[in-house]
Amino acid sequence: MSIAEVSEASDLIDFLVNKGNGVKGLSQMGLEIVPQKFIQPHEERLDFTQILSSESIPIIDFSNFDDPKVAESICDAAENWGFFQIVNHGIPIEVLENVIEAGHKFFELSVEERRKYLKENSPTPTVQLKTSFSPLAEKVLEWKDYLFHIYDCDDDESSNLWPAVSKDQVLEYMKWAKPIIVKLLEVLLEKLNVKKIDESMKSVVMGTLIVNLIHYPMCPSPELTAGAGRHADVSSITMLLQDDVGGLYVRDPKGDGWIHVPPVKGALVINIGDVLQIMSNDRYKSVEHRVIVNASRNRVSVPIFVNPAPDAVFGPLTQVLQNGEKPLYKHVVYSDYFNYFFSKGHEGKQTIEFAKL
Ligand SMILES: O=C(O)CCC(=O)C(=O)O
Ligand SMILES: [Fe+2]
């Protein structure tokens, strides 16, 4: 397919989605001009005058995790910023580097190899190759591809069918990441008067772990496109590993500006998702964020979305409302919330309206 042909919107979707070339396939063609379908309207482009370069999200040191001050900083950051980075969390640097490298390796495979993991071809539903965010629903496409995994546990046999170039690295990373996720949730929930995460609470706050290898190919016009448009996550929390390219921006909680999340070697970015914002009745903030891609380097990031089980029902916790506070949200089934999120393009904080009373 020629560069001229992929500019036709219908052929473009076929090339990107059905044929599995993704944005990687487009980027590889050495385009000098981005196809119209990727061009963001003016109001959705990041205006550099809106970047607050003197602001930064908190960095929390996990080396003395048992010190109550650490728990306090986590809850403060969740209330005031919705985003923070953690360092000295104990995951060996090689484990982090290997999973980033695995992200590059998978997207360096030929399209014939990558295409084996399209939804309709994949040997297991627990791994799928995807492009953009919701390509059949959104008006403007996002400049990214990703390999989506549903992580069950170490001995889930379906992970044997994951791609050989990235499977072990993803599993090793998840083995280290999971206990940190549990610690974070324990601290955040304790502050909401949930003393213990029992089985039913577990299925609400961490019933499904999704881990993605996201690949943002280099782009001839990063200022016109979005790697990820403005959105808030629909997780309870998200743990994100990013490489050293940069490009993640977070909404300034006090205003309209955007704050860059600088890559910090060995750090993990944690953010609160809509599920915890709703459960905490707005005490914790699920903050808007977006990704700008790079003109000269491919970027890889690895988010873990810590989500409820599909059939879990969530809403403001009784432990939060016990002092007479009015609930701001109704109870909803997670799969309804999740499907609503994917039924449209990224639209900032709009998804949470689905649960508003
Ligand atoms: O790649 C990143 O830095 C962030 C990705 C993200 O926000 C998402 O996938 O929800
Ligand atoms: Fe996100």
End-to-end CA distance of the chain: 50
Q: How far lies 84's CA from each of 58, 61, 165, 298, 299, in Å?
A: 5, 11, 31, 24, 20
* Ligand 1 nearest atom to the CA of residue 247, by list position: 3
Counted domains in the chain: 1
Residue 239 CA to ligand 2 center (angstroms) comes to: 10
Degrees (nearest 5) of the Cα angle 230, 127, 112?
Answer: 100
242 pocket-lining for ligand 1 (C-beta < 6 Å):
yes
* Sheet containing 83-87, strands listed edge to edge, beginning at the edge strand earlier in sequence: 59-61, 83-87, 268-272, 237-242, 299-307, 208-216, 145-151, 127-131
Q: What does the pLDDT look like over 194-253, one tens digit per residue?
A: 999 999 999 999 999 999 999 999 999 999 999 999 999 999 999 999 999 999 999 998
Q: What does the pLDDT look like over 108-135, one tens digit per residue?
A: 999 999 999 999 999 999 999 999 999 9
Average pLDDT over the chain reads 95
Cβ atoms of 75 and 191 within 8 Å: the answer is yes
232 pocket-lining for ligand 1 (C-beta < 6 Å):
no
For 76-117, list the strands marked E by DSSP.
83-87
Mean pLDDT for each 10-residue chunk of the chain (357 residues)? 62 94 94 93 94 96 95 98 98 98 98 97 97 94 98 82 98 97 98 96 97 98 97 98 98 92 98 98 98 98 98 98 96 98 91 97
247 contact partners, CB below 8 Å, separation of at least 6: 216, 227, 291, 292, 293, 294, 299
Cβ atoms of 148 and 85 within 8 Å: the answer is no
CA distance 163 to 166: 6
* Ligand 1 nearest atom to the CA of residue 227, by list position: 1
Residues spanned by the domain of 247: 3-355
* CATH at 310: 2.60.120.330
Query: CA nearest 36: which of 57, 14, 6?
Result: 6
Residue 5 CA to ligand 2 center (angstroms) comes to: 32
Cβ atoms of 242 and 263 within 8 Å: the answer is yes
Q: What is the largest CA-CA distance in the chain?
A: 64
Best mutation site among 142, 211, 240, 304 for ligand 1 pocket (most ligand atoms within 8 Å of CB): 240
Residue 261 CA to ligand 1 center (angstroms) comes to: 11
Cβ atoms of 133 and 139 within 8 Å: the answer is no
Best mutation site among 100, 214, 264 for ligand 1 pocket (most ligand atoms within 8 Å of CB): 214
The two three-digit tokens of residue 315, written as one number: 């809403």
